[in-house]
Structure 1
Amino acid sequence: MNRTGSSTQTQGVASAIRRFVVAPVEPQTYKNLIYLMLAFPLGIVYFVCFISGGALGLGLLITVVGLPILLVTISGATLAAGLEASLATRLVGVQTSVPAALGTFDWQEWFARPGNGFVTACKRLVTATSTWTSIVVVLSKFVFGLLSLVALVTSGALTGALLAAPFIYDDPDATVGTASELSITQYNFGPWVVDTLPEAIGVAAVGVVFLVVSLNLLNGLARLQAQYTRTLLETDTGPL
C-alpha cells in the first residue's frame, strides 16, 4: 500500500518536472502566449467601450435614448464575456461556459415588438447573474491585459538578451543590466563583465534556464486568467 502510494507520488513529481522542462516545445505554451498577447488590446477595447457606453447611457437616462444605450452596453459586455469564454476554452483549454443570456439568445425575441418577446429577452438579460459578472470580467480584463503585457515584454527582453550573449558579447554597445562608467563599452551581465566566449556561453545557458522558468510562469498566468473568467461566468448563471 505504501509502496503504491510512494510510486504514484514519484510518478506525479516526475510528470510535473517533465511538463516544466518541455514547456518551450509544448504547443499549448504558444496558445497560452497568444492568449496573453490578446489580453492587452482586448482589455483596452472592452474598457473604453464599456465606460463610454455606460457614461453616455447614464447621462442620457432622463431621455428616451439613455435606457437603450445602457441595454446595448450591457449586451456588448455580455458578448465580450462570451468571447473571453471562447478564448479561455480554445486557447488555454479551460472549459468555460458563455453567459446565460447568450446561451438562451434568440434573434426573434430581440426583434419582436416591445411588450412581447423583446421585453422578456431584456428581463432575462438584466436578471441573469452572469450578465453582471460579465461586466466584472470585461473591466478586469484591462488589469490582466496590462499585467500580461509587462510580463511578456520583460521576460522576452531578458531572455533574448541572455540567449544572444555569444553573438553580441564583443559588441562595444551591448549591455545587460546596469553598466558602470568603467564598463560602459562592455557586455555586462549584472555586475559582471562578459568579455570571453566561454563566459558568453555561460550567460546563454542562464538564458535557457530563464526561458524555461519564464514560459512556465507565463503558462501559469494564462491559466489564472482563464480560471478567473470561468469562475465568474459560471457563478450562479440563473436569474438574480
Structure 2
Amino acid sequence: MVSLRSPSRLPVVGVLAAGRTYRHLLYLLLAIPLGFLYSALFSFGFVFGLLSAVVLVGFVVLLATLLGARIAAGFERWLANRLLGTDLERYDDVPADTDGAVAGVRKYVDAASTWRGVGFLLLKYFVTVIAFVPLVALAFGLPLVLAPLRYPYVATFGESNGEPVTWAIETLPEALLAASVGVIGVLAALHVTNLVAYVCRQMATALLGETTEDEAGPVRESVADDGRDSARSDDGSSGTSDSAGGDDSAPFDDAFIPADAVDPDSDGAPVGDEDRP
C-alpha cells in the first residue's frame, strides 16, 4: 500500500504548505505596529506617572497604565490562542469580592498576572525588532522568485554609503539564478518566522495565562487503576479463603466425637468397637 505523505511534513520545503506558517507570519505582521504602540503608550505612562507621583495625578496615571496593560495582555492572550496555537485562560488570581474602592484597585496591583502582563508587553518590543528580519527577507526574496517572468529588470536591495545596492537581471540564466536565490531566501525567512513564533508562544504560555489541559486525568486514571487492582486483590483473597473453607481434603470434619471413643495413646483417631475394653 502506498502511503501519501502530507506536503507540510516534508523537510525544508514543507514550511510552504503548512497553514501554521502563514498564521505565524500574520502574527509577526501584527506584532510590528502593536509592539511600537505598547512601547510608546506604556513607556510614557510609567515614566510620566513616576515623575508626577508627588501629586495625585501621578498615581492615577500609574493605575491607568497598569489597567491598560492588563487589557493589552488579554488581547495578546486572545491573539496567541488564535495565531500561535496556544490554549490559554486568564489567571484566576484577582479576588472577585472586595470592600471599597481602594481594595478594588489594590487587588489588581497585588495580582501577579498584572506584572506578568507588563513583562510580556516589554518583551514584545524585542519581538518587534526581530520580526523585521524574516519580513525584510520575504520582501526581497519574493520579487526574485518571479524574475524569470519579469526580466529584464533591476532588483534593489537598499542603500550602502548613500548608493543603491542593485542587481541588473537581463538574461534568462541570470533570471533563473535570481529565482533560485529568491526561493532560498523565502524558505529561510519562513523558517525564521516559525522560530520567532515559537519563542512568542513560549513567552505567552509563561506570562499570559494558564493552559486549559486537564491535568487531573492521569491522577484519575491512576486512582481507577488502583481501585481495579484493589478489587482484584479482594477477589483473589476472598477466592482463596473460599477455596480453603471448601477444601474436601481436611483431615477432620466438624462432627462431634465422644471422649470415650478416642484412644489416649493414639493421635486422636476414633477407636472402633473391637478396640473398646
Same fold? TM cut 0.5 = yes
How many residues end up aligned between the 2 structures? 200
Structure 2 residue matching 1:22: 3-state secondary structure: helix
Conserved 8 A contact 2:45-2:61: yes
Conserved 8 A contact 1:163-1:207: yes
Conserved 8 A contact 1:81-1:99: no
Structure 2 residue matching 1:65: 3-state secondary structure: helix
After superposition, give the CA deviation of every residue in 1:40-67 in whole Å (9 maximum; x if it has no partner).
1111111111111112222232222222
The correspondence for 2:203, drawn from 228, 233, 236, is 228
Which amino acid is the alignment partner of residue 39 of structure 1?
A
**Higher RCO (CA 8 Å, separation ≥ 6 residues):** 1
Larger Rg, first or second structure (1 or 2): 2
Conserved 8 A contact 1:78-1:134: yes
Find the counterpart in structure 2 of residue 165 from structure 1: 147
Q: Unaligned stretches of 5+ in structure 2?
A: 1-5, 159-163, 211-277
Shift of 1:117: 4.4
1:27–1:105 Cα change, 3 Å:
farther
Q: Percent identity?
A: 32
Conserved 8 A contact 1:86-1:98: no
Q: Which structure has more strand as a fraction of its residues?
A: 2
Find the counterpart in structure 2 of residue 82 from structure 1: 74
1:119–1:205 Cα change, 3 Å:
same
Which has the larger displacement, 36-45 or 131-140?
131-140
1:23 aligns with 2:15: yes
1:60 aligns with 2:52: yes
Shift of 1:177: 6.3
1:196 aligns with 2:188: no
The correspondence for 2:127, drawn from 144, 161, 170, is 144
Find the counterpart in structure 2 of residue 72 from structure 1: 64
Which amino acid is the alignment partner of residue 147 of structure 1?
I
Q: Name the CA distance, whole Å, in 1 between partners of 2:101 and 2:130.
A: 40
The correspondence for 2:185, drawn from 191, 205, 210, is 210
Q: How does 1:54-133 map to 2 (within 5 A)?
A: 54-100=46-92, 104=94, 116-133=99-116
Q: Which structure has more helix as a fraction of its residues?
A: 1
Q: How does 1:38-53 map to 2 (within 5 A)?
A: 38-53=30-45
1:170–1:17 Cα change, 3 Å:
same
Question: What TM-score, normalized by structure 2, do the two folds share?
Answer: 0.62
Shift of 1:16: 8.5
